[in-house]
Structure 1
Amino acid sequence: MPITSELRDDGVRVVTMENPPVNALAVQGWYDLAAALDEAADDLATKVVVLRAEGRGFNAGVDIKEMQHTTGFDALIGANKGCYAAFKAVYECAVPVVAAVNGYCLGGGVGLVGNADCIVASDDAFFGVPEVNQGALGAATHMARLVPPHMLRTLYFTARTIKATDLVQFGSVLETVPQAELFDAALKVAGEIALKDTRVIRAAKEALNGIDPVDVNKSYRFEQGFTFELNLLGVADELRDDFAGTDKSKRGSK
């Protein structure tokens, strides 16, 4: 199972992504992640969520190879809707979500982390939105919650990555620790939250979302519209084929 969920005795629910080799999630994986977070929100015994991953990195975004080996647009539409559901589930989870980021956090991974409430990272972690390399747009909404405006534009246009250690200075990453200590660091923050009255924390989460200056759900959906335009133009397919090493003549017509 790429997504697992475990409720600890202290009220901390640990949601783990594990989809080798790079933790890029297929369409169903995004929906499963959304379902796990929705379950956490509905369970009054859950006081806080730790979102983490096993493997070399936190999340490498969507499974582009699945998309390029699927005839028609079902996988593309499924990935867009699945990402939207997962990002929304993180943001609207009734309890705080603490993201524990190891290694790389790219594309859809940034969508998850940017909508989280607290971020701790390993000292070798890095973040990026390489969407332009694959002829897509998205997750700028969420990267904008991690870096200042001009840094966002530079990272987005160049597809560069930024180290977690550099994000600490912006206040978006709480702290960085050696990878072996990451889970404990996330549990420490989550444990502090879990000690509070969960009725107050749930009200606080709703209140803080209510005063956010940007509606992240609508903002991300707006970005996705340009992705569809690029697909209609054939640009996205061409770049994804190059990335996935797909022979267009041997896959279904799109």
Structure 2
Amino acid sequence: MNYLNLKKNENMAMIEINHQPANALSSDVLKELSILIDELEHDNEVRVVVLHGKGKFFSAGADIKEFVQLSSEDNFSRLSKNGQSVFKKIESLQKPVIAAIHGAALGGGLELAMACHLRLVSNDAKLGLPELQLGIIPGFGGTQRLPKYIGNGRALEMMLTSEPITGEEAVRLGLANHSYPEEILLNEAKRLAAKFAAKSPKTVRAVLSLLNEDKIKLDQEGYEKEAISFGEVFGSSDAKEGISAFIEKREPKFTGE
């Protein structure tokens, strides 16, 4: 693995995203994550997984520089479906996955965190879906998962303003389970993971299956529409302007085209 670090301690697996400087979710990172989740699914010694980021961020989002290499709606739709597929693997994993979020979980980073079964955050972490600031939309399941956690109104506000919320606010809204000072966040995640690992794996699988079964079945149409819209939006002039502005570190000028 080039971008993910895996450590195992008894029944716990620690996955660390290590794609510096911002732990961007490039296609290579997603590929490694997919492979690793498959391996952990069949690792009978692992009962719980903790996912966190190395350095200053959990993940600041998708690798925007990869976007400029794609040229068609179909390519962008496939990119969206690929991200959705990897995150559904996490959501469907029959072992609890805890996201320990510090620094920032933005765009694809937050979408990854929302696919995990629980989220622990540092008090001052920044969580958001700022894609509309780039003239695009969330494409890795964000439009489908965020409203289920915090309701349509607040989800709409977060997406349309592109403004992040703090870790403490994420807890108040129901997007995260607990918030802690950053220096103890990972230890608290390990402590919670140890409690999960002490339970019978059979009972844990049963609970996860019961909570996820209907949700995963019913959500498929929404994810498909998100992927299609993701591709369509990328064909617009505003998307090209938004991505260029991001790379050039300036404010975008959208025309509605």
TM-score by length of 1: 0.88
**How far apart are residue 79 of structure 1 and its match?**
3.7
Matches within 5 A, 1:70-109: 70=69, 72-73=71-72, 76=76, 79-109=79-109
Say if 2:115 is the partner of 1:115: yes
Give the equivalent residue in structure 1 for 2:215. 212
Give the equivalent residue in structure 1 for 2:4. 3
Matches within 5 A, 1:38-53: 38-53=38-53
Give the equivalent residue in structure 2 for 1:20. 20
Residue type of the alignment partner of 1:104:
A
2:171 to 168, 171, 188: 168
**How far apart are residue 227 of structure 1 and its match?**
1.5
The answer (yes or no) to whether the contact 1:120–1:182 under 8 Å persists in 2 is yes
Q: 5+ unaligned residues in a row in structure 2: which ranges?
A: 250-257
Q: Classify 1:35/1:47 alpha carbon distance in 2 versus 1 (closer, same or farther; 3 Å).
A: same
**How far apart are residue 65 of structure 1 and its match?**
1.3
**How far apart are residue 218 of structure 1 and its match?**
4.0
Using the TM superposition, name which of 177-186 and 25-34 deviates more: 25-34
* Partners of 1:110 and 1:48 in 2: CA distance: 20
**How far apart are residue 237 of structure 1 and its match?**
2.3
Matches within 5 A, 1:119-198: 119-138=119-138, 139-198=142-201
* Partners of 2:27 and 2:181 in 1: CA distance: 32
What do residues 8-58 of structure 1 show as CA deviations (whole Å, max 9, x unaligned)? 11x111111011111112111112112212221121221011011111111
* Partners of 1:211 and 1:80 in 2: CA distance: 22
**How far apart are residue 82 of structure 1 and its match?**
3.5
* Partners of 1:203 and 1:18 in 2: CA distance: 32
Q: Secondary structure at the match of 2:149?
A: coil
* Partners of 1:213 and 1:67 in 2: CA distance: 28
Residue type of the alignment partner of 1:221:
E
Give the equivalent residue in structure 1 for 2:58. 58
The answer (yes or no) to whether the contact 1:62–1:79 under 8 Å persists in 2 is no
Runs of 4 or more, structure 1, over 6 Å off, are: none
Q: Secondary structure at the match of 2:159?
A: helix
What do residues 150-176 of structure 1 show as CA deviations (whole Å, max 9, x unaligned)? 111111111111111012223332211
Q: Secondary structure at the match of 1:43?
A: coil
**How far apart are residue 66 of structure 1 and its match?**
2.4
TM-score by length of 2: 0.87
- Percent identity between matched residues is 25
Q: How many corresponding residue pairs?
A: 244
Give the equivalent residue in structure 2 for 1:252. none
